[in-house]
Amino acid sequence: MKRRGFIKQSTLLGLGAMAACTPLNGKENQNSKSIVLSTWNHGLSANVAAWNILQAKGSALDAVEAGVRITEANPAFTSVGLGGLPDRDGRVTLDACIMNEQGEAGSVAFLENIMHPISVARKVMEETPHVMLVGEGAEKFAYDQGFKKVDLLTKESEIAWKEWLKESEYKPIINVENHDTIGMIAIDDYGNLSGACTTSGLAFKQNGRVGDSPIIGAGLFVDNEIGAATATGLGEEVIKTVGSFLIVELMRQGANPQAACEEAANRIIKKHGKPKFQVGYLALSKKGEIGAVSIHPGFQYAITSSKSATLKDAKSMLSSD
Ligand code: GLY
């Protein structure tokens, strides 16, 4: 993205941040156990939708679905849903998954023309005996379920793609835009955990490429006895280390969520030295403890509880130089 575009987009994103960073409306039940965590700046507006459900005694599952739908529908966020940057052939292809407190899961990958892949993933979980549908099959299933066909390529994303085509340089970079995949994990007032993860994937990826976000255990994992974790950043590295599953399993063995996220990031760092790509993890334990880690500085996450709605810096495992 050109610097001017980046500044314009940062301003847009920043306005959302200011609005959602204001104190909660004061009507919160101070004894509420509910917590919602999500990746990046766009998590703030997503958390507002999730929080409204949690405060109305809704389920964590409904909360995470409603939360990430906000991001999917916002064309300003060019890494998720509508307005997502296309692949190198100019096609916007989406990946998403969802998990509930019973450990059930639904997922879609390489899905085109559907605004809310997370809701299609939920339909896969609830209406089919399967976990994952991809490509044309997933799209046809979505239409059968009543989803509408939408052109997801916005003018702005088409311009960015045509600009990229001039050099067609294909190389993942450390994220500088304070948005990427949205992963959201939440615990509700009944003590149940759920999670959702949705993305348009790596910008200008090879046609057919699928990242970590729809892969259960990579982009997202929920175990209602232990905790939940989600990932953002370069999906290939998250898949190879089964990052979210790893974090929850480390928590099962006694690690707190922060230590578990640090170990998962370190597994990647050990293989690459100082990698030129970013990966970030969020984790939430059954007790409501939080973990937030990235390889490089710059990964922020949104956290909403009965105390506040804020954007925080995750701990970075490497320094910025
Ligand atoms: N984490 C998103 C992707 O790599 O597609």
The verdict on residue 315 lying in a domain is no
Helix ranges restricted to H, 225-321:
235-241, 243-252, 257-272
Query: Which atom of ligand 1 is the closest one to the Cα of 235?
Result: 4
Q: What's residue 25's pLDDT?
A: 56
Residue nearest to atom 5 of ligand 1 (CA): 201
Residue 242 sits at φ, ψ, to 5 deg, of 45, 55
Best residue among 94, 181, 206, 237 to mutate for probing ligand 1, ranked by most atoms within 8 Å of CB: 181
pLDDT at 321 over 80: no
Ligand 1 centre from 297 Cα, in Å?
Answer: 18
Query: Which atom of ligand 1 is the closest one to the Cα of 202?
Result: 5
What pTM value is reported for the model?
A: 0.91
pLDDT at 205 over 60: yes
Query: Which atom of ligand 1 is the closest one to the Cα of 211?
Result: 5
> Over the chain, what is the mean pLDDT?
90
How does pLDDT run across 23-69, given as a tens digit for each residue? 465 666 777 899 999 999 999 999 999 999 999 999 999 999 999 99
The verdict on residue 179 lying in a domain is yes
The verdict on residue 197 lying in a domain is yes
Proportion of the chain above pLDDT 90, given as a percent: 84
Compute the C-alpha angle 194/184/285, nearest 5°.
55
Ligand 1 centre from 233 Cα, in Å?
Answer: 6
What is the average per-residue pLDDT within 67-93? 96
Ligand 1 centre from 307 Cα, in Å?
Answer: 31
Ligand 1 centre from 190 Cα, in Å?
Answer: 31
CATH number assigned to the domain comprising residue 97: 3.60.20.30
Ligand 1 centre from 24 Cα, in Å?
Answer: 31
Q: Is 159 helix (H, G, I), strand (E, B) or coil?
A: helix
Best residue among 184, 202, 210 to mutate for probing ligand 1, ranked by most atoms within 8 Å of CB: 202
How crowded is residue 277: how many other Cβ atoms within 10 Å of its Cβ?
18
How crowded is residue 7: how many other Cβ atoms within 10 Å of its Cβ?
11
pLDDT at 14 over 50: no
Strand partners, 105: 99
Q: What's residue 5's pLDDT?
A: 32
Residue nearest to atom 4 of ligand 1 (CA): 235
Query: Which atom of ligand 1 is the closest one to the Cα of 209?
Result: 5
User: DSSP states of 34-95 as a string?
Assistant: -EEEEESTTHHHHHHHHHHHHHTT--HHHHHHHHHHHHHT-TT-TTSSTT----TTS---EE
Which two structure tokens, joined as six digits, stand for 180? Answer: 């990427």
Proportion of the chain above pLDDT 70, given as a percent: 88
Helix ranges restricted to H, 73-179:
117-127, 135-144, 155-167
Q: What's residue 22's pLDDT?
A: 40
Edge-to-edge, what's the strand order for the sheet holding 132-134? 132-134, 105-111, 94-99, 193-199, 182-187, 35-39, 300-305, 309-313
How does pLDDT run across 100-120, given as a tens digit for each residue? 999 999 999 999 999 999 999
Q: What's residue 3's pLDDT?
A: 29
How does pLDDT run across 239-275, given as a tens digit for each residue? 999 999 999 999 999 999 999 999 999 999 999 988 9
How distant, in Å, are the alpha carbons of 1, 180, 266 from that of 175? 11, 8, 18
Specify whether the backbone of 167 is left (phi greater than 0), alpha (psi in -120 to 50) or beta: alpha
Q: Is 319 helix (H, G, I), strand (E, B) or coil?
A: coil
Ligand 1 centre from 239 Cα, in Å?
Answer: 9
Best residue among 207, 213, 239, 278 to mutate for probing ligand 1, ranked by most atoms within 8 Å of CB: 213
Per the structure, the complete domain to which residue 204 belongs is given by: 29-307
The verdict on residue 122 lying in a domain is yes
The verdict on residue 4 lying in a domain is no
The verdict on residue 23 lying in a domain is no
Q: What's residue 172's pLDDT?
A: 64
> What lines the ligand 1 site, CB under 6 Å?
181, 199, 201-202, 211-213, 232-235
Catalytically annotated residues? 181
The verdict on residue 8 lying in a domain is no
Q: What is the largest CA-CA distance in the chain?
A: 56
Compute the distance between CA of residue 123 and CA of residue 215 in angstroms, rounded to an integer. 16
The verdict on residue 1 lying in a domain is no
Provide CB contacts within 8 A for 185, sequence distance 6+: 36, 37, 38, 64, 193, 194, 195, 220, 222, 228, 229, 230, 282, 283, 284
The residue to which tokens 């390889």 are assigned = 295
Query: Which atom of ligand 1 is the closest one to the Cα of 205?
Result: 5
How does pLDDT run across 125-179, given as a tens digit for each residue? 999 999 999 999 999 999 999 999 999 999 999 999 999 999 888 776 655 555 6
Nearest to 143 by CA among 127, 120, 160: 120
Q: What's residue 170's pLDDT?
A: 74
* Number of independent structural domains in the chain: 1
Q: What's residue 305's pLDDT?
A: 95
